[in-house]
Amino acid sequence: MQAIVQDRYGPPEVLELREVERPVPTAGQVLVRVRAAAVNARDWHHMRGDPYLARLVFGLGRPKVRVQGTDFAGRVVAVGRDVRGLAPGDEVFGEADGTFAEYVCAAPGRLAPKPAGLSFEQAAALPLAGTTALAGLRDLGRAGPGRTVLVNGASGGVGTFAVQIAKALGAEVTAVCSARNAELVRSLGADRVVDYAREDFTRDGRRHDLVFDLVGNRSLTAYRRALTPSGTLVLSGGGVSEGGSLFGPMGLLLRGQALSLVAGRRLRVLTAAPDRAALEALTELVGAGRLTPVVDRAYPLAEVADAVRYVEVEHARAKVVITV
C-alpha cells in the first residue's frame, strides 16, 4: 500500500510517499480502508520534533511512529479476533496512528459509525478537533444557557467546532479571530467577533464565564482579566512562540497545569482523546443540524507534505484534509 513515511525530523520534505506493507489486524483491531484523513497541528510538531521536550514522547533521535496521521474516515475491510459490533463494509470515523495511508489498523473503542450525510472528508475532520472542543466546553468549561464563552482562535480547526458546540449548548459566544475570518465564525453562530489585530480581548473590559484558549498568545495574568470572578480558563494547545523551541506550546500548558493545583476548577488544562462516546456525541450534534465540519482545503495523499506546510505557515481556516 502507499503511505506517508517519516524517517527523521525536519521540514515537510521529510514526509515521503512510499510503498509499505499493508497492516494486518491483530486481536481487538479492525483494518480500515482509509478514504480521508485530517491534518492537525500535532502533525507538523511531530514532523519537526518541536518542541524538543516532546521528543521524549515522539522519539529522541528519530520518530518512533514512521507513518504519520491521526484522524480518519473510511470503510472496514477486516476484523480481528474478539471484535464485536463491526463488520466489513461498515463506514467509520475515528483516530489511530498512521492514517496518512491507504489502510490503517484501529481499536474499535476509538471508532464510531460515520455520521450519515457527511462526506468522508468531513467525517475525517471531526475526531481530534471535535472531541477537543467538546471536552473543553462541555466537560471542563461547563458551557450552557446563561453563560458567556470566549473562544480564542475561533477560526481554526478546533475553534470552528468550538463556536458551534458552545452555541449548541446554549451559551453566548464571543469569537476571537482575524478580520478575514469574521464572516466565517459569524456563519457558525458567533454572537460577537473580535479582530485580534485591532482589539485585545483581555483589555476591553468584558468578562466571560469561560475563556477557551486555543492559541496561547497571552499570559495567564492577561487571561484572568477576561474572566468573571467565578469564571474558568481552559487551555488547549498554544502558539509556538510560547516558551521557545525547548517547550514550545507546552510552556504555557505546563505553567497552567501547575497553577491549576491552586486555582482548581478556575484553570483547567485540556487533554482529550477521541473515544466512542465522544464521537457519538459529535454524531448526535451533526444529526441535529447543530454541527457541520468546515473544510478549508483537500489534498491528495501524494501531497501531504504540502498540506502540512499549509497548516504550519498559512494560518489555515478550519480543517485541512487528505483524500486517499
Query: Hey, which residues does 74 pair with through a beta bridge?
Result: 34, 92
Report the mean per-residue pLDDT for the chain. Answer: 89
Gap between the Cα atoms of 240 and 217, Å rounded: 9
Q: What's the pLDDT band for 61 if we cut at 50, 70, 90? A: confident
Gap between the Cα atoms of 213 and 233, Å rounded: 7
Query: Quick one: pLDDT at residue 62?
Result: 82
Check whether domain 2-125+293-323 has CATH 3.40.1410.10, yes or no:
no
Q: What's the pLDDT band for 170 if we cut at 50, 70, 90? A: very high
Query: Quick one: pLDDT at residue 267?
Result: 85
Most confident of 163-167, 245-249, 250-254: 163-167
Query: Quick one: pLDDT at residue 317?
Result: 87
User: Please, which residues have CB within 8 angstroms of residue 260's CB and are 6 or more apart in sequence?
Assistant: 267, 268, 269
User: Please, which residues have CB within 8 angstroms of residue 166's CB and are 6 or more apart in sequence?
Assistant: 137, 143, 149, 151, 173, 189, 212
| Mean pLDDT value across residues 45-73 | 80
CATH 3.90.180.10 residue ranges of the chain are 2-125+293-323
Gap between the Cα atoms of 267 and 210, Å rounded: 10
Query: Hey, which residues does 295 pair with through a beta bridge?
Result: 319
Top pLDDT among 257 and 34 is at 34
Top pLDDT among 60 and 21 is at 21
CATH 3.40.50.720 residue ranges of the chain are 128-269
Taking the domain 128-269, which CATH number applies? 3.40.50.720
DSSP string, 15-73: -EEEE-PPP---TT-EEEEEEEEEE-HHHHHHHHT-SGGGHHHH-SSS-S--B---EEE
